[in-house]
Structure 1
Amino acid sequence: MDNTVNWFEKRCRLNPSHIAVVDGQTGERWTYRDMDRRFLSIAAYLQSQGVEKGDRVALLSPNDVCYFDMLFACAKLGAIFVPLNWRLAAPELDYIIHNCDPKVIAVHPDLDEINGNVLTKVQESHFKLMKAAGKEYDDIIRMTAAPTSNPALKMDDPLSIIYTGGTTGKPKGVVLSHASMFWNAINTVVSWNLTSRDITPTYMPMFHTGGLNALSLPILQIGGTVIVCKSFRPETFVEIVRRERCTLVLLVPTMYHMLTQSEVFAEASFPTMHTFLSGGAPCPHTIYEAFASKGLAFKEGYGMTEAGPNNFFIDPSEAAKHVGSVGMPMMLNDIKIVNNHGETAVVGEVGEILLKGGHLFHSYWNLPKETEEAFSDRWFHTGDLGRRDDEGFFYIMGRKKDMIITGGENVYPLEVEHLLQQHPYIEEAAVVGIPDEKWGEQVIAVLVLKSGAHLDEETLKQYCAASIGKYKIPKRFVFAEELPKTAVGKIDKIRIIHDHSYGKI
């Protein structure tokens, strides 16, 4: 077995009495010794349920300590951890569950009611269910058991599958190996100079790479403390940062917008915080200004599920000089920008961002062709656009892929368009994203109805809610007589966004 596969187990032995995880809502605390006992007990239980190397174990839960229990239990067994996005609609979750075909699905009691339709279907199938919290779960942990056998593991073995939206409308499972997650964590630790004294509140959803991999795992790897937080409110955020003496945090721009617009931010000081980090979407410059006015260190990063997600580092002092820059490549990964001819872009030229490093994903689950297409000479083609200035600082310029980021969540217009076009009253549909100070981007749908048909916004929102997650539902529906077309007959979305004759978008 590679000696880095079981790094968390070793960390628990090195710092047994240090606080590893705190429940931000209840204040309950677990040392590294506690976490060691928890994940070994869960691993023993999963093994008793027939879970073996390569089997998938899914989790449907809000942010909770059980994410770490399940992840490291899977790591021990060689199983593959699949965190599920509980914000998705029932058909979307149903597709993912059957696509990854888990041996066991763990469900947090808080989501029993929210995902009732999904759970009913799961119970009628061959999947085994377990509770991810409550008395039954606590009883498993109190067994203080350990797996009866441990498989031989390699760093290249899959450890997790995180599903991300696909341009075809079907989610893709991004397979992260032990190596992917280890090198992302170690790269973050050494590039950002993290220490065991660092404490971070995790507000990003832990079914996303941002919540699980951006800061949580690097902090645990170096022996620091992770505060698990279920939902973001400016008042409770400030309270937790003060109470737990947090040192750094990652939030999406939507959260920062809510924070900087609140009264509590205007009155608060953050003496223990050395870094406020923004990710998930481009950050408005007004947020930089709000933090600068209080003398607080602020910067933003860039990543994606397939790539860590950590790729760049910038010192907050440099971020203030290079507003909007994500910095320079971290120590253990390489980045380049290529133009349309595949040549390295010159300074200031916009091109596609390519990444290389041990933190990159292993593959797309059961999609060998898509996996092969994503790489060229070991470089991963992100589909995102960027540029580099004459000092070597990188800037994210946009996305080649037709994707909208709203509140840190990815929305693929084609998926929403396909759904809208299935409505019997809709002739044509175009979905675009427009800049929004709070959400980063708003999802807007422009529709052409069939002759004599009538629809209102509320009806359309209810129609969408039956099939897609709430964050994907357009914030506004604009009705037009026709959609603009390019010379080759494609819908011209640039004109839709900028031409005020189309609903004054």
Structure 2
Amino acid sequence: MRKDSMDWLAARSALTPHRTAAINAETGEAWSYAQMNERACALAGYLEAAGVAPGDRVAVLAQNDLCCWDALFACIKLRAVFVPLNWRLSGSELNAIVSDCTPKALLYHSELESLARGLFAPITLQAGGVEYESIISAAIPLRHLEAERGDEAAESCMMIYSGGTTGKPKGVVLSHQSVLWNMLNTIVSWNLTASDVTVTSLPLFHTGGINALCLPILYAGGTVVVSKESRAEPLMELIQRYACTIVLMVPTMYRMMIDLPAFAHVQFPHVHTFLSGGAPCPIAIYEAFESKGLTFKEGYGLTEAGPNNFYMDPRAVVHKRGSVGKPMMLVQVKIVSDSGCEVAIGDVGEIWLRGKHVFQCYWNQPETTQSAFVDGWLRTGDLGRRDEDGFYYIVGRKADMIITGGENVYPVEVEQIMLEHPAVKEAAVVGIPDPKWGESIAAAVALHPDHGLTDEELRNYCIGKIGKYKIPKRFLFLQELPKTHVGKVDKKRICQMYQEM
């Protein structure tokens, strides 16, 4: 095999064949790096014999399961494109994505057979049974391994469909270069080693599940535990059982965790870092982990870039609470005004990113791809600011900014204030049309069990903490805030709820 091959699993397997690479938390099944590599080779050989060629898409429909690694690394060996599908979507939504990416093959887990029946691909393969394991055992050899190749780094590696909160989901194409540079950048900037162990319940169809920690840790020779668990207490037990050293979860899961009575007594002796991503994190979560002497920090990323872009020094967390840190080693960042100029320190602007970790294109959307870049810089659509010490803070989505009576209001600032109230479990702020002010501030709030709160009480709580024009004029109290398929608060749905009132 040529030295410029992107088949890094083969190289890792040669270096540390007997180290544990991956574990299924539900079954306890564990693979060494050698086993993982052998399985990927076998699946690649089968797919090639069935007709999958370099550049073809291979769609994968599975919950967090080890077969996802079979599929990803088989695609890398075959130079096909790995397309993980969001199994939380409806059949019609999945059909639209499959019609868009036109996969040559569909690999699905037996647990999702009923959902897979409605999807078409010329080649279909069911994982999770005797027939699938017999295919792996047959180990059909790949024919093209010694074939001459072009610039492999520039070839497409995976395509991850965006959450679609701002419209129709887009296929974000990541090249081998994008994936490789995110792994290298994360390892050297976050100081990951072969001793690191993580458990992920973040879905492997999402970049946070697959690219944020799992692939960097595998590249470094560590261990990844995959779990379908969505409850906080069992996840705490898994962190203990597998002596995890670094953990990434969304704020909603951390909120559920700190609300458990068991959290007050549990210890995490092996964990050196708890990471939060996907949405701004309430200050109460920081405080809960700090009270136990645990390092807790936020990250920032997006499917189109990494997703990892910043590093937060644990020694700075307490003094720079809410910051995502400083740019990672191999990432360039700037904060830009609407006119395209860099803003002054402390001012809010759009976050632009540049580096070899940035995505290749939006699938079949050349105009959208072109509009995402300015002179090689990726326009993220997120707003942020930088302080005098070089630390960056995320203010919110540019599309979420509310203009009321000519004043800019950033929802995250208002949400953080409301979340400081002891009765508030979740809060989201949106702008709704107003004939006088252009937009008015409205909030959706979920309370902790056995807590009561009125509009007036919450409004009065905000007075003096933020400007009067930022305080919501309307409140919608819900048992739980609506979420997208990747667990983020669905603000589009909240706006619809207000329109329906």
- TM norm structure 1: 0.80
Alignment partner, residue 47 of structure 1: 48
Alignment partner, residue 348 of structure 1: 346
For residue 112 of structure 1, give the secondary structure of its aligned residue in structure 2: helix
For residue 399 of structure 2, give the secondary structure of its aligned residue in structure 1: coil
**CA distance in structure 2 between the partners assigned to 1:394 and 1:184 by the alignment:** 19
Q: Is 1:22 aligned to 2:23, yes or no? A: yes
Alignment partner, residue 194 of structure 1: 192
Pick closer, same or farther for the CA change 1:323–1:479 going to 2, 3 Å.
closer
**CA distance in structure 1 between the partners assigned to 2:23 and 2:441 by the alignment:** 41
Aligned residues: 432
Residue by residue, what CA displacement relative to the aligned partner does 1:291-341 show, whole Å, maximum 9, x if unpaired? 011111100000000001000000222112111000000001111101122
CA deviation after TM superposition for structure 1 residue 126, in Å: 5.0
Pick closer, same or farther for the CA change 1:345–1:2 going to 2, 3 Å.
farther
- Matched-pair contact (CA < 8 Å) for 1:195–1:222: yes
Pick closer, same or farther for the CA change 1:377–1:80 going to 2, 3 Å.
same
**CA distance in structure 2 between the partners assigned to 1:351 and 1:12 by the alignment:** 44
Alignment partner, residue 420 of structure 2: none
- Matched-pair contact (CA < 8 Å) for 2:178–2:306: yes
CA deviation after TM superposition for structure 1 residue 480, in Å: 6.5
**CA distance in structure 1 between the partners assigned to 2:486 and 2:193 by the alignment:** 38
Q: How does 1:156-167 map to 2 (within 5 A)?
A: 156-166=154-164
Residue by residue, what CA displacement relative to the aligned partner does 1:411-444 show, whole Å, maximum 9, x if unpaired? 9x99xxxxxxxxxxxxxxx998746689xxxxxx
Pick closer, same or farther for the CA change 1:3–1:43 going to 2, 3 Å.
same
CA deviation after TM superposition for structure 1 residue 234, in Å: 2.1
CA deviation after TM superposition for structure 1 residue 134, in Å: 1.5
Alignment partner, residue 181 of structure 1: 179
Within the candidate set 114, 117, 135, 1:140 is matched to 135
Amino acid at match of 2:328: M
- Matched-pair contact (CA < 8 Å) for 2:198–2:244: yes
Q: How does 1:355-504 map to 2 (within 5 A)?
A: 355-402=353-400, 434=444, 474=493, 478=497
Alignment partner, residue 204 of structure 2: 206
Alignment partner, residue 328 of structure 1: 326
Q: How does 1:180-259 map to 2 (within 5 A)?
A: 180-259=178-257
Pick closer, same or farther for the CA change 1:10–1:431 going to 2, 3 Å.
farther
Q: Is 1:308 aligned to 2:306, yes or no? A: yes
**CA distance in structure 1 between the partners assigned to 2:107 and 2:200 by the alignment:** 21
**CA distance in structure 1 between the partners assigned to 2:32 and 2:487 by the alignment:** 37
CA deviation after TM superposition for structure 1 residue 108, in Å: 0.8
Amino acid at match of 2:142: P
Pick closer, same or farther for the CA change 1:140–1:470 going to 2, 3 Å.
same
**CA distance in structure 2 between the partners assigned to 1:180 and 1:480 by the alignment:** 41
Pick closer, same or farther for the CA change 1:100–1:238 going to 2, 3 Å.
same
CA deviation after TM superposition for structure 1 residue 3, in Å: 2.2
**CA distance in structure 1 between the partners assigned to 2:441 and 2:81 by the alignment:** 35
- TM norm structure 2: 0.81
Amino acid at match of 1:146: P
Residue by residue, what CA displacement relative to the aligned partner does 1:199-221 show, whole Å, maximum 9, x if unpaired? 00011110000000000000000
Residue by residue, what CA displacement relative to the aligned partner does 1:334-379 show, whole Å, maximum 9, x if unpaired? 1110112211111100000000011000000011111111111110
Pick closer, same or farther for the CA change 1:431–1:99 going to 2, 3 Å.
farther
Alignment partner, residue 69 of structure 1: 70
CA deviation after TM superposition for structure 1 residue 73, in Å: 0.6
Residue by residue, what CA displacement relative to the aligned partner does 1:192-240 show, whole Å, maximum 9, x if unpaired? 1100000000111100000000000000000000001112222221221
- Matched-pair contact (CA < 8 Å) for 2:323–2:392: yes
Residue by residue, what CA displacement relative to the aligned partner does 1:126-175 show, whole Å, maximum 9, x if unpaired? 53211122212111111233312235251010010100144663211000
Unaligned runs of 5+ in 1: 415-429, 439-463, 482-502
Amino acid at match of 2:355: G
**CA distance in structure 1 between the partners assigned to 2:495 and 2:359 by the alignment:** 36
Residue identity over aligned pairs, in percent, reads 48
Alignment partner, residue 456 of structure 2: none
**CA distance in structure 2 between the partners assigned to 1:432 and 1:178 by the alignment:** 43
Q: Is 1:120 aligned to 2:117, yes or no? A: yes
- Matched-pair contact (CA < 8 Å) for 1:302–1:312: yes
Deviation larger for 273-282 or 233-242: 233-242
Indicate the structure whose relative CO is greater, using CA pairs within 8 Å and at least 6 residues apart. 1
- Matched-pair contact (CA < 8 Å) for 1:238–1:264: no
Pick closer, same or farther for the CA change 1:254–1:46 going to 2, 3 Å.
same
**CA distance in structure 1 between the partners assigned to 2:377 and 2:337 by the alignment:** 14
- Matched-pair contact (CA < 8 Å) for 1:299–1:316: yes
Alignment partner, residue 460 of structure 2: none
Pick closer, same or farther for the CA change 1:323–1:156 going to 2, 3 Å.
same
Q: How does 1:283-294 map to 2 (within 5 A)?
A: 283-294=281-292
**CA distance in structure 2 between the partners assigned to 1:308 and 1:433 by the alignment:** 32
Alignment partner, residue 130 of structure 1: 125
| Aligned Cα root-mean-square deviation (Å) | 3.0
**CA distance in structure 2 between the partners assigned to 1:68 and 1:35 by the alignment:** 8
Q: How does 1:90-129 map to 2 (within 5 A)?
A: 90-113=91-114, 115=115, 119-122=116-119, 125-129=120-124
Pick closer, same or farther for the CA change 1:436–1:359 going to 2, 3 Å.
farther
- Matched-pair contact (CA < 8 Å) for 1:275–1:297: yes
Alignment partner, residue 84 of structure 2: 83
Amino acid at match of 1:138: E
- Matched-pair contact (CA < 8 Å) for 1:89–1:468: no
- Matched-pair contact (CA < 8 Å) for 1:59–1:82: yes
**CA distance in structure 2 between the partners assigned to 1:470 and 1:184 by the alignment:** 23
Deviation larger for 104-113 or 212-221: 104-113
Amino acid at match of 2:143: T
